[in-house]
Amino acid sequence: MSDELYFEDFKLGHKFASMSSTKVSAQEITEFAEKYDPQPFHLDEAAGKSTFFKGLAASGWLTAAIVMRMRVENIKVHGGMIGAGVEEIRWTEPVRPGDTLRTESEVIALRPSQKRPQYGLVTIFTNTFNQRDEVVMKSTVKFLAPMRNA
């Protein structure tokens, strides 16, 4: 799809796949965890062994942030992608050091914004896959897109 999408350019069922995959390193996992989710299983492989995760796993919020970057890279909204909210996130498999993530998204709802008549609300569902095509995260988010003729 072309750059600079307006609300009218989105159609129900439109699909967007990430153009590239993203490798998640142990360093990125631990750096993010030190700042935002300082728990043993996100900080250290050895300390994670005796936990639920049986080793080092990425914070789900790191996965969500990586998926936001892929969304911004793949869906170019005129004026930028302005998040309007999250309807659901489910973390279905751990993300491990060295995993490579890609996304497939689909437009599942469209409606004009009641609060901001110059914008519409786009709801997209995204599956995030690892290199074994296992779904590691399912998410449904809403963002604003400007009306072309506002």
Residues that bind its own copies (CB under 8 A): 32, 35-41, 51-53, 59-61, 64-66, 68-69, 72, 79-91, 139, 144
Q: Residue for token digits 């009641």?
A: 114
Residue 13 or 44: the one with the smaller Cβ distance to its own copies is 44
Residue 63 or 130: the one with the smaller Cβ distance to its own copies is 63
The H or E element that residue 120 is part of is: strand 119-129
Residue 80 or 98: the one with the smaller Cβ distance to its own copies is 80
Q: How far apart (Å, rounded) are the C-alpha atoms in residues 84 and 56? A: 32
Smallest distance from its own copies to CB 15, Å: 22
On whether the CB atoms of residues 8 and 82 are closer than 8 A, the answer is no
Cite the DSSP H helix spans in the chain. 26-36, 40-43, 45-48, 60-74
Smallest distance from its own copies to CB 98, Å: 18
